[in-house]
């Protein structure tokens, strides 16, 4: 923990006691929906983040006005936290609409749990709901009442990230007869290629989100900075896209392992806004306060990472285009030195030959002695998991155990040798046992359950 950051936190809260959600605006220009937000920090700093959403063959004319304003307002509430965290002002004034007590409680929970990693790494104790408060001007109108949507049909929106998980979702839903629409925020090359390869090039909402440079300048000056719950932004943007297209289903690609705490024994979870807890709370909030006619769910929630890797391994057309590396995201490459690269390699290793893995990643990560500390973090041999979107300790140990067990006396790569030396007497589940897993805590309709089970059953034979 950083004592300097804790002291800085106290000073910033005193200097900037008020953060304000001033306004939002929307207009359509050249068949694009433009959203612009105005936030201010104690009247001293102004921020104007914005979104550009290409409408293509769609329009917003059919959307009820109250519903549209509610949707755009709520995107701003999700966007707000990225700017508020710079000083963690104790009061947050919301000018566009007034929220009731239950709505305020929901947003406080999202901010506090979604910023769990940020608070932890900055040494800030923020578990109490008294950490900050919402305020509203006297005559502010309440958030528009929830609306029924008569124009919705059984099409599905698929948020795509370019990693193996969303590619598995695209693969599973290729069996889906209903209309499909991909969406992504600031898509990179891997995302665009994934959408194209899935045959959705002409059914793709490529949304541009612009962070105000003023926030980047505050970060440069030493204001508080860190991880925010970006998947909550994706969630609220996705229901706007659902309203535009009429596709009522929104299929995320968050698996069961997103529920595991990053710091064991705490609620600190790098992936909070990908967790089932958030999914369940989001579904309830949207149904109660926006509209009951959206079906937001994670298709892969019943599965663990090894099952997802098994399905992915049956789709070789995706091998050369997928990317899960944050470090190499701007260059569309694998850095081969980060937790996500190593984790992805380990998950795929029970199902793909070593030569194929080297072809994908460019080198054999199990032979890199420099990755031993990361392997320890991923497998629970260190006090903390990496603050990245990686799977469970149990999944990693099952895969590593399978890999060194099948060598049957052969010389082991350095990471497998180290793992065996540290864990040799511990009984881990085999990969075959992991293939029988099914997480019942999910939001899938039976139709999607059947599609997922069918894909899994066709992929459960590990490489021999």
* HEC letters along 39-81: EEECCCEEECCEEEEECCCCCCCCCCHHHHHHHHHHHHHHHHH
CA angle 84, 76, 101 (to 5 degrees): 80
Assigned fold of 3-298:
Rossmann fold (3.40.50)
What's the rounded Cα separation, in Å, for the pair 299 and 311? 13
Query: Given this model, what pLDDT does residue 462 score?
Result: 43
Query: Given this model, what pLDDT does residue 70 score?
Result: 98
Ranges of the chain whose pLDDT falls below 70: 1-3, 127-128, 258, 409, 461-464
What's the rounded Cα separation, in Å, for the pair 15 and 132? 15
Alpha helices, DSSP H only, in 115-229? 116-121, 164-172, 189-197, 213-221
Residue 256 phi, psi dihedral angles, 5° rounding: -65, -30
For residues 382 and 376, is the Cβ–Cβ distance under 8 A?
yes
Question: What SS3 state is found at 282?
Answer: helix
What's the rounded Cα separation, in Å, for the pair 116 and 272? 8
Instruction: Read off the pTM.
Output: 0.94
Which is it for strands 45-47 and 18-29: parallel, antiparallel or unpaired?
Answer: unpaired
What's the rounded Cα separation, in Å, for the pair 46 and 48? 7
What are 427's two structure tokens?
Answer: 């009984």
CA angle 457, 459, 462 (to 5 degrees): 120
What's the rounded Cα separation, in Å, for the pair 442 and 353? 32
> Where along the chain do its domains lie?
3-298, 324-438
Which is it for strands 50-54 and 32-41: parallel, antiparallel or unpaired?
Answer: antiparallel
Crossing angle (nearest 10°) for helices 354-361 and 339-348: 150
pLDDT, tens digit, for every residue of 251-278?
999 988 767 777 777 777 778 898 999 9
Question: What SS3 state is found at 140?
Answer: coil
pLDDT, tens digit, for every residue of 130-153?
899 999 999 999 999 999 887 788
Query: Given this model, what pLDDT does residue 93 score?
Result: 99
For residues 164 and 306, is the Cβ–Cβ distance under 8 A?
no
């Amino acid at each position: 923990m950083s004592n300097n950051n804790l002291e800085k936190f106290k000073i910033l809260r005193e200097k900037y006691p008020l953060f304000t959600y001033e306004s939002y605006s929307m207009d359509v220009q050249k068949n694009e929906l433009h959203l612009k937000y105005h936030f201010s920090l104690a009247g001293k700093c102004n921020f104007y983040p914005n979104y550009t959403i290409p409408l293509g063959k769609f329009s917003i004319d059919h959307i009820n006005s109250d519903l549209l304003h509610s949707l755009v307002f709520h995107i701003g509430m999700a966007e707000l936290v990225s700017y508020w965290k710079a000083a963690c002002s104790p009061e947050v004034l919301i000018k566009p609409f007034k929220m009731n007590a239950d709505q305020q409680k929901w947003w406080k929970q999202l901010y506090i749990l979604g910023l769990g990693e940020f608070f932890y790494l900055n040494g800030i104790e923020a578990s109490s709901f008294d950490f900050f408060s919402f305020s509203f001007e006297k005559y502010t109108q309440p958030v528009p009442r929830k609306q029924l949507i008569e124009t919705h049909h059984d099409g599905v929106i698929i948020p795509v990230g370019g990693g193996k998980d969303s590619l598995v979702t695209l693969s599973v839903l290729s069996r889906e007869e209903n209309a499909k629409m991909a969406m992504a925020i600031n898509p990179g090359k891997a995302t665009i290629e994934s959408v194209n390869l899935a045959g959705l090039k002409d059914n793709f909402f490529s949304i541009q989100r612009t962070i105000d440079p003023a926030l980047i300048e505050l970060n440069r000056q030493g204001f508080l900075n860190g991880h925010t719950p970006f998947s909550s932004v994706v969630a609220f943007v996705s229901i706007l896209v659902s309203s535009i297209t009429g596709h009522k289903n929104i299929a995320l690609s968050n698996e069961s392992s997103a529920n595991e705490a990053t710091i064991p024994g705490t609620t600190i979870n790098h992936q909070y806004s990908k967790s089932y807890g958030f999914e369940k709370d989001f579904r309830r909030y949207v149904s109660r306060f926006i509209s009951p006619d959206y079906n937001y769910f994670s298709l892969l929630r019943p599965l663990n990472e090894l099952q997802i890797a098994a399905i992915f391994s049956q789709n070789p057309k995706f091998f050369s285009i997928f990317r899960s590396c944050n470090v190499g995201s701007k260059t569309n490459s694998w850095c081969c030195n980060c937790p996500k690269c190593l984790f992805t390699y380990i998950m795929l290793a029970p199902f793909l030959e070593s030569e194929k893995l080297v072809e994908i990643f460019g080198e054999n990560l199990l032979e890199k002695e420099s990755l031993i500390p990361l392997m320890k973090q991923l497998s629970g041999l260190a006090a903390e998991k990496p603050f990245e979107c990686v799977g469970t300790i149990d999944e990693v140990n099952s895969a590593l155990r399978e890999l060194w067990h099948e060598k049957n006396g052969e010389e082991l790569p350095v990471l497998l040798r180290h793992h065996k030396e540290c864990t040799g007497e511990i009984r881990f589940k085999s990969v075959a046992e992991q293939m029988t897993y099914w997480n019942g805590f999910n939001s899938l309709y039976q139709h999607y359950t059947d599609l997922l089970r069918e894909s899994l059953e066709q992929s459960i034979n590990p490489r021999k």
